[in-house]
Amino acid sequence: MTYHVTLIPGDGIGPEITAETVKVLEATGLSFVWDEQLAGVAAVDATGTPLPDATIESIRHRKVALKGPLTTPVGAGFRSVNVQLRKEFELFANIRPARTLVPGGRFENVDIVLVRENLEGLYVGVEHFIAIGGDPRAVGESLAIVTRAGCERIIRYAFEYALRQGRKKVTIVHKANILKMVSGLFLEVGRRIAKEYEGRIEAGDMIVDNCAMQLVLRPEQFDVMVTTNMFGDILSDEVSGLVGGLGLAPGANIGTHASIFEAVHGSAPDIARQGIANPSAQILAAAMMLDHLGETASANRIRAAVEQVIVEDKVRTRDLGGSATTREFGDAVARRVGA
């Protein structure tokens, strides 16, 4: 079978790590037709817009995209392309697995999947200024919008994901003690859904600040976590930090109209075109894409190859304490996959 996939190399280090990821995917022996499209700063430079219509149409037609990191200007300029893509394709679930790969770190045997609601909460971007006296920007106000349907969809997805992946426990993370409506609704729906899975999946809930502490005290107590948009954004980076940082953090954005797979780290323009970026996160995101396409055996080969290259072959990029280049790391993984 041939898979038709939209390929967005991205900005900064994106083209470098994406090239290595394509190399690894093709080493599986699977057949791909790549439709390369632009987004972010690269798209602005080429077309004048950060998200061209051609890119949207390509994803809409193929329904699967592999995306490199994109640069979002801070404080000015265009809004996040990632957020635009989430809204365009209703990418309601952000899946962030984190597993210990590099031995000798502070934490061993971490294996956590964070499921983040991707469309609601504070990140809906409904905000405005309120004028007081002569100051038109005296007060900034932002609305957190949470729907019962949105809570139901993401929490049920987390429990179903746990079942499919052979996981044991789902922890519902909230702030219902203070945010009694928006977070209280999330917890209410979560507890109701948890009852449907009694005897199959263990369930619990935890206040977000306690969760942040528990993650660095006893991360082994967590398996699958599900939470709202902003909490998930913050906690997913913390979870990545437990296993060595964002260089090892893949992500999947699952939607009703398409799914997009990506490294969750930024575009790192300070090291772009130097050949030193770690492509692991993008390669692992590609493995998640293969899971989505039903090619689980090939996905597992890629994950095993990444681990073997890091642990057994000791081929590591600079961020992992080694000296391998981006290409050397990609070549090593591709050889393992194709062996």
- Is 112:225 a contact under the CB 8 Å cutoff? yes
**How many helices (H) does the chain have, and how many strands (E)?**
11, 12
User: How far is it, in rounded angstroms, from Cα 262 to Cα 123?
Assistant: 19
Catalytic residues: 123, 175, 209, 233
In sequence order, what are the residues at sequence separation of 6 or more whose Cβ sits closer than 8 angstroms to the Cβ of residue 302?
A: 24, 25, 28, 283, 284, 286, 287, 290, 333, 337
Kindly provide the b/e burial profile for residues 253-278, where b requires at least 16 CB atoms within 10 angstroms of the residue's own CB.
bbbeebbbbbbbbbbbeebbeeebbb
- Is 156:117 a contact under the CB 8 Å cutoff? no
Location of structure tokens 């949207």: 56
Radius of gyration over alpha carbons of the chain, in Å? 20
- Tell me whether strands 135-142 and 127-132 are parallel, antiparallel or unpaired: antiparallel
Q: How far is CA 196 from CA 50, 159, 302, in A?
A: 43, 10, 34
CA 134 to chain centre: 43
DSSP-based three-state secondary structure for 207: strand
User: How far is it, in rounded angstroms, from Cα 259 to Cα 63?
Assistant: 6
DSSP-based three-state secondary structure for 41: helix
User: How far is it, in rounded angstroms, from Cα 191 to Cα 158?
Assistant: 13
Nearest to 116, CA basis, from 269, 253, 302, 310:
253
- Tell me whether strands 169-174 and 259-263 are parallel, antiparallel or unpaired: unpaired
